[in-house]
Chains A and B, each alone.
Chain A
């Protein structure tokens, strides 16, 4: 069975603050893939990043960075110098190698960035 836990239901920050969204996962697969998606109020899920379990290198893309730690089964997402446009629901998702293409999503974290 696969499970993704996003313990933070809602986070509210002031613009320019840094914010970290937590994601903890469970899987019995030795090979798996982790994803982050952004869902703005318009409803569309926007793909942000895919991380393979066999690649633990952390990644930075502009103001976004991701910290993948196999030892703690976590894949956390940090936004540096947050902006109002970052306000959205963020989902962490997991796909195990034995689950075909099925994505297991967390419950999501509602991020509100206030001016």
Chain B
């Protein structure tokens, strides 16, 4: 079974530029998550989708971050404009079911460096 796919793996941009990350979850997984992992810290949830609807975006900085999952499969996370503090690894995860038996499976992440 193929895992969660993400691209690009690495991205370097200058502050105030825009950037977009792509994620393709495990086939059949209805729930998709985007996490931000700053160096030396654990991942922090940015947004959660159930199919193509947003379930939780309470920790998403909506003034510069946006995400969509238009067809309920793959998803795009965008930062516009980027700040230095956005330098982090952006992890995508997916899960098959919600509730007590849910387990999230993660992709390899996109490492973003903002100069």
Which residues of A are in contact with B by a Cβ distance under 8 Å? 4, 31, 33, 35, 37, 42-47, 50, 52, 91, 93, 95, 97, 100-103, 105-108
Contact = CB atoms under 8 A, between A and B. Distances in A.
15 contacts: A33-B100, A43-B89, A45-B43, A45-B93, A45-B106, A47-B104, A47-B105, A50-B103, A93-B42, A97-B100, A102-B45, A103-B45, A107-B40, A107-B42, A108-B42
Given A43-B108, A43-B109, A44-B108, A101 B102 contact: yes
A105 B44 contact: yes
Given A91-B42, A97-B100, A101-B33, 10 more contacts: A4-B42, A44-B106, A44-B109, A47-B104, A47-B105, A50-B103, A101-B102, A103-B104, A107-B40, A107-B42
Nearest to B106: A45
Contacts of A47: 103-106
A101 B95 contact: yes
Interface of B: 3, 31, 33, 40-45, 48, 55-56, 89, 91, 93, 95, 98, 100, 102-109, 111
A48 to B, nearest CB: 10
A100 B48 CA distance: 10
Nearest to B110: A43
Nearest to B4: A44
B100 A31 contact: yes
